[in-house]
Amino acid sequence: MQDGIDHNDLNDLMPDGSMQLIDPSLPQLLTILPLSQRPIFPGTALPMTFSGQDKLMAIKIAVEQHDGFIGAVLERESDDDDYRESTYYEVGTVYQIIKAMPMGPNGMQVLGRTIKRFRKQRVVQTEPSLRWRVEYDNQPQVKPDAELKAYMLAISSDIKSLLALNPLFQEQVNMVVTQLNYDKPGQTIDVISNLVSSEKEKLQELLDLWDISERAKMLLNIIKDELQVAKIQSRINKQIEEGVNAKQKEYFLREQLSAIRRELGEEQDDGDSISERIMTMLEGKEMPETVREVFDREMNKLRTLNTQSPEFNVTRTYLETLASLPWGIFSPDTNDIAEARRILDADHYGLEDVKDNILEFLATIIKRDSVAGSIICLVGPPGVGKTSIGQSIAKALGREFYRFSVGGMRDEAEIKGHRRTYIGAMPGKLIQAIDRAKSSNPVILIDEIDKLGSGQGDPASALLEVLDPEQNDSFVDHYLDVPYDLSNVLFLTTANQLDSIPGPLLDRMEIIRLSGYIKEEKIKIAQQYLIPRQLKDHGFATDEVTFTQEALNFLVDRYAREAGVRNLEKQLRKIIRKLVLKQAETDQHTFQVTPDTINEMLGRPRFNTEKLYERTIPGVVLGLAYTALGGATLYIEATGIPAENAGFRLTGQLGDVMKESAQIALSYVRSILSKEGSDFFDKHHIHLHVPAGATPKDGPSAGITMALALYTLATDQPTRDSLAMTGELTLTGRVLPIGGVKEKTIGARRVGIDTLIFPEENRRDYEDLDEYLREGLTAHFVKTFDQVLEVALETTPSSSVSVVS
């Protein structure tokens, strides 16, 4: 078989067994190219565009070998990677390419004419192009009957109406209508079909119809649908035009009315009315003289500017910002310290030392009627109530409260504002806080001050002027460019830890530490604050849900051991939400929450125990650490591997200070054991590890813990049970004081430790703790590492609080 016409196959069998004559002027085999938007109909000339190297190759073969004949077929489902794998409709149109013009490296536009319908018989080739054997629409030309003529007249009438509403194809449709040939209705129908717009599936259905009467009937329905849509669109356009005309008319009338009123003196122009409004904003305010001079100068400038000028809007915004600030407006302070204490007690459980410190500050502020020098920094783990204490202080003083966070802040302009020369310039956070508080003496809480970033400039240094009592009485924001007195503002700051706060900034603040809560305190907070609040938020009455004491013990111990109570509240919220759902599904009205209920609702406990070992073993010692999340226990593990060359390895993501502590501990233990004749460290490679390797750890307070781990490893002696310690070690064996005694004690109680070792110089810190924190604990205070050995290696404690001498 050759490409083109195979004269042996001019006649194909029809489905009923009869023969059908194939048009001898058209090829029986066609190269198929896809159409994606809509099918095309016979009887017209039109351009088409194709892209893709595989389609360009098919066009080239068709032009060079097959007289430019191709079959244009609508895709049913498209395959973007290979058009030959697409799914096609069965009926298409023969298209003869007259001219092909490249469009870039990967496209081509062809110009040709559509000739005749065809129907697919079978696929005969897929490489290098898709080819079908086809059969053509060769119905004999017959004279149209009366019904077909009626359809053609209706089509002519409707297409004229459509033309009047939608002149998009006016020239083409006019040509078709004037040349409407009733003797060749099929040709006329196909030409009009190429002009109408409809869904591609409906147009393909029209192409599939070979019977001219059925085709005329369907085309008339499509035109009537298009005519209906065109009428609706015309009506909508008319309504829009009428609306626009009405608005334009109203605009011109209002402009004329405004001009008449200005001529009569009944209305001022826009600039004057804005100036008056800004002056109204200043009523009742006492602007300093230096600021008033700047304000008046800018106001005079505003009155001379054209309202359409960009500078007019810049100046107006600046003046509105100046005028909106509460110059000379102060909230009267409450002088009742007893009421302040009541507010603090009502809002917060425990924290007696913190409340006393705060009340001392408040009493001083009230007595001297000034807050100069009073900048409080609340330091503690997340969830212990730092932000809410700030709100309570504002409530106790009767002042406005405003909070903003500087965590991650990298631009000093956030503090001191942007220059007015920049687009979108605005004041800094401090001036914004004053503006929103509508008072010159609010309580402003600067949250997360330990997480200041560094980027454009230095925001930490920018805060120095804000928090320095000697400077903030004339704080100059870059946007305002005039001084504003911040000395009456009570500044509070919060931080999780002090290490990352720059020294000059820390030096300007009074530190109040909030330690984490122990289990008993968390239970009281849950009973008095958290549970009632969550029940109210979820629509429960207080007697509808009760938590047993065992349930709260289980919840705090196994699901919420963190220093704060934020996670405890999350777990309570989750439980009460599940109870809401259960009530909706079962109509049960009262619930009692038990440990089994908690286990069922919250799943497997998050905490089992922080003890990695059931009993003490040589080389493993438990230390106490102070982290941003509060006090915690920290295991130190040491092991020795026999080796000819001694060595020392540290793991566990340790900081530089902790690495130095480990080297000091090794040197000291080697020195005391060498005096006893031990050569353990000369014959072993020592590996010291601190578990929880994903957590960075640093600080000198693990010195005696590391030394004891190395000593017990070398002497093969375990320490006493339930023992934890903290203290810095020197090369001579002295034990130096550490910080965070309260937090570390709370961390030890949380995991059931009952014997502690502290440096002697921390005795006062421990004795100042509340009795309920020390209850059940045995604390030993040591000056040297020898005393650590005496406590750690004995089997029974000697007294509840002792110093080994």
Residue 686 Cα distances to 192, 533, 534, 690, 725, angstroms: 93, 54, 53, 13, 22
Catalytic: 451? no
Q: For residue 659, what are its two tokens?
A: 């690495």
Longest dimension (CA), the chain: 129
Report strand pairing: 401-405 vs 375-379.
unpaired
Residue 4: CB atoms within 10 A of its CB come to: 13
Distances in Å between the Cα of 194 and the Cα atoms of 44, 207, 215 are: 8, 10, 13
* H or E stretch covering 236: helix 212-264
- Provide the β-strand partners of residue 642: 684
What DSSP string describes 268-297? --HHHHHHHHHHHHTTT----HHHHHHHHH
Q: Omega of the bond prior to 128 within 30 degrees of 0, cis?
A: yes
Of the candidates 420, 244, 394, the one whose C-alpha atom is nearest the C-alpha of residue 331 is: 394
Sequential DSSP letters for 356-421? HHHHHHHHHHHHHT--TT-EEEEE--TTSSHHHHHHHHHHHHT--EEEEE-TT--BTHHHH---TT
Write phi, then psi, for 456 (nearest 5 degrees).
Answer: -80, 105
Ramachandran angles phi, psi of 649, nearest 5° = -130, 140
Q: Which two tokens stand for residue 154?
A: 């209706």
Residue 655, both tokens: 């900081």
Angle between helices 185-195 and 146-165 (to 10 degrees): 20
The token duo for 33 is: 């190219």
Pick the closest to residue 135 from 26, 32, 217 (CA basis): 26
Stated as kind and residue range, the H or E segment containing 484 is strand 483-484
Q: Which residues contact 627 (CB under 8 A, 6 or more apart)?
A: 381, 497, 695
Angle between helices 170-178 and 146-165 (to 10 degrees): 150
Task: Please give the DSSP secondary-structure letter assigned to residue 85.
Answer: G
Distance (Å, whole) CA 654 – CA 652: 6
Is residue 606 within 8 Å of 558, Cβ to Cβ? yes
Torsion of CA 637, 632, 699, 777, to 10 degrees: -90
For residue 407, count other CB atoms closer than 10 A to its CB: 12
Helix (H, G, I), strand (E, B) or coil at 70: strand
CB neighbourhood size of 547 (10 A): 21
- Alpha-carbon distance of 102 to 644, in angstroms, equals 80
Q: Is 454 a catalytic residue?
A: no
Among 774, 769, 763, smallest CA distance to 353 is for 769
CA 295, CA 177: separation in Å to the nearest integer? 76
How far apart (Å, rounded) are the C-alpha atoms in residues 401 and 441?
10
Angstrom distance (rounded) from CA 459 to CA 454: 7
DSSP one-letter string for 486-552? -TTSEEEEEES-STTS-HHHHTTSEEEE-PPP-HHHHHHHIIIIIHHHHHHHTT--TTTEEE-HHHH
Catalytic residue, from 744, 799, 800, 802: name it. 744
Which regions of 367-417 does DSSP assign to beta strands (E)? 375-379, 401-405
Q: How far is residue 418's CA from residue 280's CA, in Å, rounded to a whole number?
A: 26
Q: Which listed residue (129, 661, 701, 783) is catalytic?
A: 701
Helix (H, G, I), strand (E, B) or coil at 69: strand
Active site amino acids: 701, 744
